Amino acid sequence: MKAGITEINLLGIILFVVMIFDGKLSGRGLNNNRSLYKVVIFFLISLIAGILFNFTGNMTSQATYYVHFFITIAFLLFSSISGYFWLIFICHELRQDIPCSLSIRILSSMPIVFLSVMVLCSPFTHWIIYVNEKNRNTQSDLFFLQNIIVYGYIFTGAIASFIQFRKDFDLEKQKNSMHLFIYSLLPLFGKGIETIFPKIHVATTTIIISIVMFFLGSMKKEIQLDSLTQLNNRRQFEQYLQRITKSSNQKKIFLIFFDINNFKKINDTFGHMEGDKALIIVAQVLKDIFSNTKAFLSRYGGDEFAVILAKEEGEVLPYLQKIDVSLVEISGNLPYTLSLSVGYSIYGEEDATSIETFVQAADKKMYCDKEEKKKTQC
């Protein structure tokens, strides 16, 4: 059975090493997600410690005992630390715009501090592990605390993901929260099976699967999102537009185009760094204003943004007014005025009976608004 556990650990080590090198070489994936990177690193170390633990477990020499004891401590601590970073990763994924505060991180790390003290004192107190009469490390009655701490972090991440899923209005955020919930639930399910059937070792396997799925999800996000604004990219916009126009049967489908006024002047006068800042500000305003809806937000290209929303016309116009008000307030702290030209069309109306004409109608109205703002008749 130990051979089977070792094989599982080796598979996990190979997968994690590949993930780390892929991120380093491509500049994507783990390289851009520090929380997930730390989960992988610390769980990788715990897998290595697990293999060494099994390898040295049957050796009874005095020197081997000290090595085995050190490996046991490493396994207990690093697996617990990986659980901590699992929770931090979940928090980061659920609320990317609000980083975990220092107080939350300190509070979340307290179980690790508690376990560390107990493990390091075990040679004298026998709280977690002790040496039996055969000169072998043996689990004490409180060894179960390590599992409670590791799976407690994972369980907390699962609960947080489910709560956020119930709170979110945005369809993409709901999908992300459910993804995090399912793959946090999987290790708990695996540990439950292993507890009921001790000879079936699936807990480590389920953790490896979940981390790999988190990694693939992170890679998928990088493909789908605009790297600067973190909004959906043009490709995702086109795919979503295809889906929603096929399924629309009740509410009106709005396509709203936004274009930053005098964006070239901002770039030329204040530099491209300031231009990028303007794009990020507009993207954040759109996220904030449409946060309580299931609107699909995307960067259409350059300084253009697109929003797809299923609403009645009277419900859409107040959102546009809120965007204007928000940008006026923000402009007070900028060396330039940030404003948008807007145009929208409604799918199914005379000038928007196909996807092509739907996009063209919104685009045309946006440029008419831009010309009007330049004091030119459209």
State the pLDDT at residue 58: 60
Does pTM surpass 0.95? no
Secondary structure in 3-state letters for 295-339: CEEEEEECCEEEEEEECCHHHHHHHHHHHHHHHHHHHCCCCCCCC
Among the ranges given (31-35, 256-260, 275-279, 298-302), the one the predictor scored with the smallest mean pLDDT: 31-35
Grade residue 1 by pLDDT with cuts at 50, 70 and 90: very low
Least confident of 18-32, 108-122, 268-282: 18-32
Q: What is the mean pLDDT of the chain?
A: 85
Helix spans in the chain (H): 2-26, 34-56, 62-94, 102-125, 144-167, 171-196, 203-224, 234-247, 263-270, 272-289, 313-331, 355-373
- Distance between CA atoms of 178 and 163, rounded to whole angstroms? 10
Residue 348: C-alpha distances to residues 112, 131, 345 (Å): 58, 77, 9
pLDDT at 212: 93
Residue 96: per-residue pLDDT: 64
Question: pLDDT at position 110, please?
Answer: 93
Which domains are seen in the chain, by residue range? 2-224 (1.20.1070), 234-373 (3.30.70.270)
pLDDT of residue 46: 92
201-248 pLDDT, tens per residue?
899 999 999 999 998 888 888 888 898 998 999 999 999 998 888 875
* pLDDT higher than 90, residue 134: no
Q: What pLDDT was estimated at residue 63?
A: 62
